[in-house]
């Protein structure tokens, strides 16, 4: 498919990585149900890596409360490895904090420990109903997330998809009150619990809409606590699913539903919630999930972020990517959040393995061959004969993608003078050949 050499837009040192020149368009095409001729690797949940943060000069604990740090951290996985999305926020407490919970950011520990709710909304065993803000965009850290999204949209968002995520209503209630108190409240008064979930769904819909306005291309709803494996299929249908369906219906498209745990027996219930795409946990048998969904549903998944990516080898990672492709996934996604600590070689193996997947639509051309770097070396060589030789073999669609990228190289800030000159020369030769 169409890949171009692009550079990082935020990191102190521009790190070269090979990504599809129309990555953002391809990603959004998948979420519209349109087939593309490759298997992209992206995600909709926290996707930070220790190597990426190190390259960007950011400590994990700094990335939760400052919009610029948050944007730079989110962009770092793309800039370092070519991961085809940049996603914020990075913790499950944003919406709970906006509704009044205290949060411990654990900044006193130099490790990848996510913020946690330290002061839930309860007095003893009694739940304290949250007061929903009139304007969520002003509550807690939601303005920080929105500003980070805007910065991402104006930066790497020209190249890859920008994602934001929110918890499902049940998961948000879990955060607000604590797991034990919330599960006890469900048993004692399920009707009151259902009404509360409806209110939380309305609040989350407004948050999600604000994230889209700020710059997100896609929204992921992460119903972790309300997974059928956690609460049981019956409770999911009677309590979790109605509020989740209401939330998804109120959010702007495209929407991805992400649910933890082995949900193979509940795939039909998850699909009925109404999201355009479904991301399943690595515990799912992906081929079985595809069979239950049918051939046209958008399925994203589902490698194990710890066992496969962090603890595996390039060989086992390539096997996992092939299994995901064979099972019928539309894109390679983590089965849950990425675990930041991993060997760089493993992440590069993940991207490389997906790039090598041959799909029925894909055909060999200079832009999707194994000699991609040679293609760009020729095109940017400033030697007319080499430029003409690689240009003549491109399809019309590939020509359009290359021209767009060359123009951006000449016009955008951040490219070195020599790169701008090489792109300008290539454009001149191509125009001359067309005349």
Query: DSSP for 253-302?
Result: SPEEEEE-S--GGGHHHHHTT--SEEEE-TTS-HHHHHHHH-SSSEEEEE
Domain ranges of the chain: 19-355, 372-434
Query: DSSP for 4-57?
Result: EEEE-SSSSS--EEEEETTHHHHHHHHHTT---SS--B--SS----HHHHHHHT
CB 130 within 8 A of CB 176: yes
Query: Rounded CA gap, 422 and 386, in Å?
Result: 13
Query: Rounded CA gap, 354 and 345, in Å?
Result: 14
Q: In terms of residues, how long is the chain?
A: 435
- Neighbour count for residue 434 (Cβ, 10 Å): 8
Query: Rounded CA gap, 135 and 337, in Å?
Result: 29
Fold of 19-355: TIM Barrel (3.20.20)
Query: Rounded CA gap, 407 and 409, in Å?
Result: 5
The dihedral built from the CA positions of residue 47, 53, 59 and 63, taken in this order, carries a sign that is: negative
Backbone angles phi, psi at 229, to 5 degrees: -70, -30
Strands (E) in 61-111, as ranges, are 85-88, 102-104
Question: Who contacts 180 (Cβ-Cβ below 8 Å, separation ≥6)?
Answer: none
Q: pLDDT truncated to tens, each residue of the chain (435 aa)? A: 233 333 333 333 334 344 555 789 999 999 998 888 889 999 999 999 999 999 999 999 999 999 999 999 999 999 999 999 999 999 999 999 999 999 999 988 878 899 999 999 999 888 999 999 999 999 999 999 999 999 999 999 999 999 999 999 999 999 999 999 999 999 999 999 999 999 999 999 999 999 999 999 999 999 999 999 999 999 999 999 999 999 999 999 999 999 999 999 999 999 999 999 999 999 999 999 999 998 889 999 899 999 999 999 999 999 999 999 999 999 999 998 889 999 999 999 999 999 888 655 433 444 444 456 677 888 899 988 889 888 887 877 678 878 888 888 888 776 778 888 999 999 999 998 877
Question: Who contacts 346 (Cβ-Cβ below 8 Å, separation ≥6)?
Answer: 309, 310, 312, 313, 314, 317
Rg (CA), the chain: 22
| Distance (Å) of CA 100 to CA 49, 175, 205, 208 | 30, 11, 18, 18
Query: Rounded CA gap, 135 and 198, in Å?
Result: 18
pLDDT score at 359: 59
CB 188 within 8 A of CB 135: no
The dihedral built from the CA positions of residue 95, 96, 100 and 101, taken in this order, carries a sign that is: negative
Q: Are strands 298-303 and 277-280 parallel, antiparallel or unpaired?
A: parallel
> Which of these, 295, 358, 350, 302, lies nearest to 328 by C-alpha position?
295
CB 17 within 8 A of CB 80: yes
> Which of these, 293, 291, 237, 230, lies nearest to 262 by C-alpha position?
230
With H, G, I as helix, E, B as strand and everything else as coil, classify residue 411. helix
pLDDT score at 11: 36
pLDDT score at 360: 53
């Amino acid at each position: 498919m169409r890949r171009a050499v692009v550079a990082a837009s935020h990191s102190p040192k521009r790190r070269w990585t090979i990504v599809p020149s129309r990555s953002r368009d391809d990603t959004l095409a998948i979420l519209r149900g349109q087939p593309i001729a490759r298997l992209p690797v992206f995600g909709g949940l926290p996707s930070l890596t220790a190597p990426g943060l190190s390259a960007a000069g950011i400590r994990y604990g700094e990335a939760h409360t400052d919009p610029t740090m948050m944007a730079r951290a989110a962009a770092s996985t793309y800039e370092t490895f070519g991961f085809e999305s940049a996603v914020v926020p990075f913790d499950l407490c944003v919406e709970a904090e906006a509704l009044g919970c205290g949060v411990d950011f654990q900044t006193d520990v130099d490790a990848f420990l996510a913020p946690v709710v330290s002061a839930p909304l309860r007095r003893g065993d009694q739940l304290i109903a949250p007061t929903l803000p009139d304007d969520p965009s002003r509550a807690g850290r939601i303005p920080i997330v929105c500003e980070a999204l805007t910065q991402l949209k104006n930066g790497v968002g020209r190249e890859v998809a920008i994602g934001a995520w929110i918890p499902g209503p049940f998961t948000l209630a879990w955060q607000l009150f604590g797991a034990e108190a919330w599960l006890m409240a469900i048993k004692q008064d399920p009707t009151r619990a259902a009404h509360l979930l409806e209110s939380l769904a309305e609040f989350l819909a407004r948050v999600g809409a604000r994230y889209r306005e700020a710059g997100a291309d896609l929204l992921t709803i992460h119903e972790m606590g309300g997974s059928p494996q956690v609460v049981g299929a019956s409770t999911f249908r009677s309590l979790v699913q109605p509020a989740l369906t209401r939330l998804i219906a109120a959010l702007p498209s495209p929407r991805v539903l992400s649910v933890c745990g082995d949900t193979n027996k509940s795939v039909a219930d998850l699909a009925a919630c109404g999201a355009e795409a479904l991301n399943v946990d690595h515990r799912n048998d992906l081929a079985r999930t595809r069979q239950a969904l049918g051939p046209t549903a958008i399925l994203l998944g589902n490698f194990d972020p710890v066992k496969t990516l962090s603890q595996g080898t390039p060989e086992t990672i390539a096997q996992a990517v092939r299994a995901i492709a064979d099972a019928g996934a539309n894109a390679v996604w983590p089965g849950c959040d990425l675990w930041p600590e991993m060997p760089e070689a493993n992440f590069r193996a993940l991207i490389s393995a997906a790039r090598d997947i041959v799909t029925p639509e894909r055909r060999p051309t200079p832009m999707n061959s194994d000699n991609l770097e040679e293609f760009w070396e020729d095109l940017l060589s400033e030697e007319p004969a080499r430029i003409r030789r690689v240009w003549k073999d491109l399809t019309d669609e590939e020509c359009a993608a290359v021209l767009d990228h060359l123009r951006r190289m000449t016009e955008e800030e951040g490219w070195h003078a020599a790169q701008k000159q090489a792109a300008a020369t290539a454009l001149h030769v191509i125009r001359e050949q067309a005349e």
